[in-house]
Amino acid sequence: MQDLSRLFKALSEETRLRILKLLEEGELCVCDLVAALAMVQPKVSFHLNVLKEAGFIKDRKQGRWTCYRLEEADIFKRFLILSVLERIEKEAVAEDRERLVHFLQSKTTERESSASPEDKCIGRKNK
């Protein structure tokens, strides 16, 4: 019963729902989420950790960067995420998406002009 409680607790916070909605379209690194949510990195990392412990997301390390994506292996959790995300209006996360798009565009521009791309965040990897 504690696992079930952890699942619903993870979904009970607006910031975590916003994160899940952003991850719905593909993998993002922490810096992408920080920019999209307009929050500080430790706060975003806290919410990511709650979602990861509940089994809703997976992470992968690439150098010093950590990227997150939705966990799709557990069919119950996947169904739960899809059920929740379909009820979130696009307008509710429109500002997050707009900040994310702007940030990703600026990152691409920086990467193209940088002499050492390994020092830059790796960016987005779509599904």
Q: How many helices and strands, by DSSP H and E, does the chain display?
A: 6, 4
| Alpha-carbon span 51 to 44, nearest angstrom | 11
Q: Is the pTM of this model over 0.85?
A: no
Residues 56-69: pLDDT tens digits? Answer: 999 999 888 899 99
* Dihedral class, residue 57 (left if φ above 0, else alpha if ψ from -120 to 50, else beta): beta
In CATH, what is the architecture of 2-110? Answer: Orthogonal Bundle (1.10)
From the centroid of its chain, how far is CA 125? 12
Share of the chain above pLDDT 90, in %: 60
User: Which one is predicted more confidently, 97 or 4?
Assistant: 97
CA angle, 48 then 34 then 19, to 5°: 45
Domain range list for the chain: 2-110
